[in-house]
């Protein structure tokens, strides 16, 4: 073992102190818990994906409506020989290429890699179309995957609840916006003062929130997304992170002022001579090594005391 490697092994406590957790808790990019072993075989999960709903705009019904009610606009296209052709460039809100329009799209570059570029659309191609992935398929109906939650928790599914009259909701909101908080509090106090006896309380059966209709979205701990991108933080991970940060905070606070200064310098120092003060380089390196070893011992003792 070399001299520098031996010194690095002796300063393990100092290294841990410099790398102590200080940042806020970041959500894990997986719904697997870090305190338990994951025995999944990677070969069994290769090429497996979660099927998702595709959103394509305009939809077929929107296209049919524009064709039926929209006004047709004509234009011209000039071909390679210079001859002009009359073409349809719009039907209502639907727009079509005249051969000069471009849109952002992916294509293969000269080196074989996929790059973003302005791609020229052929004559008649529909413009401003959109295609994107929506939520995970499943859970649309009461008897689908959402039904397991209504059965386990014995609650009513949002789809079985009758909606309130939208006009009544709009009027209530408009009326509430015209009154101040003070006026509403006074109205409540007057109503309580006029009430001789409180009316009986009607207890409704348990139910889920109105949104989302896909109840799986309310239980992110059991939700598995594509490539592990979803899932909630396990409580074990949160508690472990909090405890570690509290122990290190208590450890650093118990150090002396001299040790705190040395630790601060160690976070940005590039050599042992940065700790030795003035004098010859070898003398400064010897002093710096002594200070680091002393700081390491003090940190180790303080950490054991705080973690006990």
Rounded Cα–Cα distance for residues 260 and 253 (Å) = 9
Q: What tens digit of pLDDT does each residue of 123-167 get?
A: 888 988 888 776 665 544 444 456 666 677 776 665 666 667 778
Report the candidate in 122, 117, 61 with the shortest Cα–Cα distance to residue 94.
Answer: 61
pLDDT of amino acid 2: 46
pLDDT of amino acid 96: 92
Any idea which residue has 């122990």 for tokens? 247
List, in sequence order, every residue forming a beta bridge with 136; answer none if it has no partner. 52
Structure tokens at 167: 């006009």
Q: What are the two backbone dihedrals, phi and then psi, of residue 15, each rounded to the nearest 5 degrees?
A: -65, -40
pLDDT of amino acid 1: 36
Q: Whole-model pTM? A: 0.34
pLDDT of amino acid 141: 46
| Residue numbers of the chain with a pLDDT score lower than 50 | 1-2, 139-144, 230
């Amino acid at each position: 073992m070399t001299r520098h490697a031996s010194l690095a092994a002796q300063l393990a406590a100092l290294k841990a102190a410099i790398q102590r957790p200080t940042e806020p808790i970041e959500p894990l990019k997986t719904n697997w818990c870090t305190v338990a072993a994951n025995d999944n075989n990677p070969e069994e999960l290769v090429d497996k994906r979660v099927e998702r709903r595709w959103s394509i705009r305009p939809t077929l019904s929107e296209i049919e409506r524009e064709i039926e009610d929209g006004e047709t606009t004509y234009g011209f296209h000039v071909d390679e020989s210079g001859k002009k052709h009359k073409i349809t460039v719009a039907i209502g809100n639907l727009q079509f290429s005249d051969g000069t329009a471009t849109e952002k799209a992916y294509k293969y570059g000269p080196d074989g890699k996929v790059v973003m570029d302005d791609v020229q659309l052929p004559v008649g191609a529909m413009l401003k179309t959109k295609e994107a992935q929506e939520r995970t398929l499943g859970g649309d109906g009461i008897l689908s995957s959402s039904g397991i939650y209504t059965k386990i928790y014995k609650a009513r599914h949002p789809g079985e609840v009758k909606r309130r009259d939208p006009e009544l909701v709009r009027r209530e909101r408009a009326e509430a916006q015209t009154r101040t908080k003070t006026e509403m509090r006074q109205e409540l106090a007057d109503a309580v003062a006029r009430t001789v006896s409180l009316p009986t309380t009607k207890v409704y059966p348990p139910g889920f929130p109105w949104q989302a209709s896909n109840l799986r979205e309310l239980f992110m701990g059991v939700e598995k997304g594509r490539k592990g991108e979803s899932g909630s933080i396990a409580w074990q991970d949160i508690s472990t992170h909090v405890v570690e940060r509290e122990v290190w905070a208590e450890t650093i606070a118990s150090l002396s002022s001299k040790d705190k200064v040395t630790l601060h310098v160690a976070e940005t120092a590039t050599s042992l001579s940065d700790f030795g003060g003035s004098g010859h380089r070898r003398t400064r390196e010897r002093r710096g090594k002594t200070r680091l070893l002393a700081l390491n011992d003090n940190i180790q003792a303080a950490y054991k005391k705080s973690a006990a």
